[in-house]
Amino acid sequence: MTQPVYDRVALIGLGLIASSMFWAIKRSGLAGEVTGYARSAETRETARRIGLCDRVCESAAEAVEGADLVVLCVPVGAMAPVMQQIAPVLKPGATLSDVGSVKGHVVEAILPHLPEGVHFVPAHPLAGTEHSGPESGFAELFDNRWCLLVPVEGSDRDAVDRLRRLWQGMGANVDEMDADHHDLVLAVTSHTPHLIAYTMVGVADDLRRVTDSEVIKYSAAGFRDFTRIAASDPTMWRDVFLTNKEATLEILGRFTEELFALQRAIRTGDGDHLHDYFTHTRAIRRGIIEAGQDTDAPDFGRGQAGGQTGGTDK
């Protein structure tokens, strides 16, 4: 057990990320008390039943009152309305953060409502599974994953460093970058791959209507991975694409150009181009494994949720 980083932490939204944060905080003794709130009464009742949070509150304002750290774990599109509810009761000197996978929009949504004396340090843990809801969380979710801190202009350095200690205490590696760069990087590593996965599963569903159940019955590992990614929370991903529009469209344009080049190589029988391309992309996979962000061991059954990274959910 380590020394607490915060006396009281408030989690607003009690899905996969928030529940995993709670269990990780408790695992290492990083906070004296953790309060929580979810908009759904059913979610709040589930949280109480499974012991998620030391105290589950009936309003967001009640949950954040007196908290040293408030973390918004709601869909990106809900950040501004939630901020309006909690702004009047945020404790002076407290730190406000989030776990959204789009940062530019979050900064724009939060800053107009930020009370003077409250430190805003956006964050994004690059961890997740295809599961959602309060019962999906587990303490090991962030172990050896990256959490990106995105300080805004004027962010208090002590507040940033304190939040860094919390995420490191929860098992994460921590880095910092600005909001625009974050959103471009995530458009490459997460947002566009999710959109492609959704599209491929939709194409397969259309084909399944022609081939009866064969697409599902004979799914190979590649398609199974697509379906796992495409099972991520639809509200979260709708908001991601609407709020990271420019970066996603830029990367989609580049993807389309690459796809056309591969189509041309296949059509013209250019085996050298295909082999060179696949050799290059294979090396990227090896780099991910060497960086400790995945394993080369086969896991076709996907039996352990803790080993998967199906988005942030975020």
48: left (phi over 0), alpha (psi -120 to 50) or beta: alpha
The lowest-confidence range among 22-36, 180-194, 200-214, 288-302 is 288-302
Residue 283, pLDDT above cutoff 90: no
Longest CA span, the chain: 67
Q: Report the C-alpha gap between 106 and 101 in whole angstroms.
A: 9
Q: Which tokens belong to 137?
A: 């969380």
Closest CA to 178 of 79, 107, 78: 107
Q: How confident is the model at residue 304 (pLDDT cuts 50, 70, 90)?
A: very low
Alpha-carbon distances of 146 from 142, 230, 232, 280, rounded to whole Å: 7, 22, 19, 25
**What residues pair up with 119 in beta bridges, in sequence order?**
95
Angle between helices 234-243 and 245-268 (to 10 degrees): 90
Strands in 69-72's sheet, in edge-to-edge order, are: 55-56, 31-37, 6-12, 69-72, 95-98, 119-120
What per-residue confidence (pLDDT) applies to 309? 36
Check: CB of residue 115 under 8 Å from CB of residue 91.
no
pLDDT tens digits for 95-143?
999 999 999 999 999 999 999 999 999 999 999 877 889 999 999 999 9
Q: How many whole angstroms separate alpha carbon 241 and alpha carbon 244?
A: 5
Query: Which tokens sit at 247?
Result: 């970066």
pLDDT at 301: 44
Burial-class residue 76 by CB neighbours within 10 Å (0-12, 13-18, 19+).
Answer: buried
For the chain, the average pLDDT equals 88
pLDDT for 210 equals 59
Which domains does the chain carry? Answer: 6-177 (3.40.50.720), 181-307 (1.10.3660.10)
Confidence of residue 312 (pLDDT cuts 50, 70, 90): very low
Q: Which of 22-36, 108-122, 141-155, 279-293 has the lowest mean pLDDT?
A: 279-293
pLDDT value, residue 208: 67
Residue 123 — φ and ψ, nearest 5°? -150, 160
Give me the percent of the chain exceeding a pLDDT of 90: 65
- Cα separation, 126 vs 291, in Å, equals 14
Distance CA 138, CA 24 (A): 7
| CA–CA gap between residue 218 and residue 204 (Å, rounded) | 12
Predicted local confidence at residue 201, as pLDDT:
84
Global confidence as pTM: 0.82
Sequence-separated (6 or more) residues with CB below 8 Å from residue 26: 34, 139
